[in-house]
Amino acid sequence: MDRRELDLKITDAAKSILSYCVVRTSNHFEAEDLAQDILLELYKSAGNIRNTQAFYGFMWAVAGNVYKGWCKKKAKNKECALTENLFDTTELFDDNSDLYLLRRELSLLSEKYRKATVLYYIENKSCSQISVHLSISESMVKYLLFKSRKILKEGMNMERKFGQQSYNPKELSILYWGNGKNTYNSVYENKISQNILFACYNDRLTAEEISLELGISMPYIEDILKQLVECDVLRLEGRKYYTNIVIFTANCAVEIANKTREFKNKIVNALSEIIVNENISNSEAWLTVCCILYKAVFENLQSKVKIELPENKFGENCIIWAVEKEADSLRNKGFEFGVSNTENETGDRVQFFDFTVNGDMVHHSFYSSKSFTNVFIDIAKGKSSFENEYEKLAVAELIKKGYVLNDNGKLRVNVSVFTAEEFERFISRYNYAVEIVEQNAEEIMNEAARIIENYIPVHLKHQACQMAYFRIFEEAISVPVGTLAENKALFPYKGNGVLPTTYIVLK
């Protein structure tokens, strides 16, 4: 190899050598000094290289020797507590790709091994210092270093590939049914949590396998794994994690949507007939549709289905499930939908049907503060003056959200108000439509149960029927209402009129 070609190769290798030094020194200045020593020695000795193919092997051998000499010099001023099982750098670094492999394996090391390894090899801490830092014995430090060296070497010899979720992450809608305010929201706000649940839905994976599937280093997922396990939405058996909630994947949701289209059309036709024949306003149409759907799905049909709501770590009786958002985008017509009711101490209730066509899901505010319900119902009964500071704050917030109007100091609710007798007479007018909706919603539920059986993991199969009921929120409510809006039978709510999808029933 001529000198000019050699100089070019050494120049090209400078960046790799600096990276090699960075992972072995405590700061950038030391790394640069060590790199200069290696490059100088390489330049002096390079005349012994006979062919191009031998250059990189020779280069890493020189780097290893210079580094060993550097360590010996440093050891004169600092005790080196570990006298064996050190990295054999000449063995680890045979070519330019090994540095990448080492970094990859470091990113996959579990916490206990990774901390000891980083402290010793990168921060140049002695075993005694690491012992104090990690609050473990020196012998345990040596064991962790020995094991991490073995794990790293074995991993570097393995072929590892990032999974599909590393470049095509999933996005889930996390849904809640229960008697609380969904304290899980903070757990699911980030895509990492969602993608861990998706990755472990049909496959039981180790933390390392999850890391590779998501293309995210272990340090970034370890705390999230612990949090998901604590919430019992993810479970750990041995070293394998598996998801403990049902996920409606895109394939499952699309199959349900396609095979239940006939029943949804019958629901749409029954509701459209009422809107046309009754010749009612847009607000009245919304109210009528919501009342019929609630009576059919949440009163009549739910009484036929055994809904089990286990108590979670927050003391809430609830169930959590998820829907792949890709499935939401394929449905075309449905609105995002939430239903809820709250009561005061005397049994008066506020019924919410929240569709995104009308804005945010306001019923969440009522669960976060009981005074919201009490004040709202008191205003519905004619009360306009409140002395309690908490009640005054609730009034201000209800006015801000549009649920209460202030007419020159006189408060009034901006929703329909019924007595129990009035509501019963109102809904009885539409019993035939309630029956049609109930029958077809039940057909949708039965078909969904059969389909879910083919997609759900074995350990969750006992939830198939219950999950089929929750699926009709989408297929028997959200999609039909979306279709009515698309067909101009219903129009988006506008203006300051009565809010059409919330009503109060006074006992």
What confidence score (pLDDT) does residue 42 get? 80
In whole angstroms, what is the distance from residue 296 CA to residue 32 CA?
74
Residue with tokens 């239903």: 339
Mean pLDDT of the chain: 81
Q: What was the pLDDT predicted at 85?
A: 42
Give the C-alpha separation, 99 to 47, whole Å: 25
pLDDT classification of 38: cutoffs 50, 70, 90: confident
- Cα 156 from chain centroid (whole Å): 31
CB 186 within 8 A of CB 339: no
pLDDT recorded at residue 379: 92
pLDDT of 86 > 50? The answer is no
> In 200-281, which residue ranges form alpha helices assigned H by DSSP?
207-214, 222-230, 250-259, 261-278
Whether 478 and 323 have beta carbons less than 8 Å apart is answered as no
Q: What is the mean pLDDT of residues 333-347?
A: 76
User: Please, which contacts does 35-40 make with residues 24 or more away whose CB atoms are closer than 8 Å?
Assistant: 37/66, 37/70, 38/62, 38/63, 38/66, 38/67, 39/10, 39/14
Return all residues near 505 (Cβ < 8 A) that are at least 6 apart. Answer: 348, 349, 351, 418, 419, 420, 423
CATH code of the domain occupying 164-244: 1.10.10.10
Among 77-86, 91-100, 260-269, 382-391, the least confident range: 77-86
Instruction: Give yes or no for residue 434 having a pLDDT over 80.
Output: yes
Write out pLDDT tens, residues 112-125: 788 888 888 778 88
Residue 3's contacts (CB-CB under 8 Å, 6 or more residues apart) are none
**Which value, in Å, is the radius of gyration of the alpha carbons in the chain?**
33
Q: Give the phi and the psi of residue 174 in degrees, each rounded to 5.
A: -95, 120
How many helices (H) and strands (E) the chain has is answered by 23, 11
Please give the DSSP secondary-structure letter assigned to residue 334. P
CA-to-CA separations, 259 to 191, 272, 474, in angstroms, rounded: 30, 22, 14
pLDDT at 357 over 60: no
- Domains of the chain, residue spans: 3-156, 164-244, 251-306+331-506
Which one has a higher pLDDT value, 415 or 168?
A: 415
Pairing of strands 318-324, 172-178: antiparallel
The top-scoring range by mean pLDDT among 166-170, 439-443, 487-491 is 439-443
What pairing do the DSSP bridges indicate for beta strands 246-248 and 318-324? Answer: parallel
pLDDT in tens, 25-37: 766 677 777 888 8
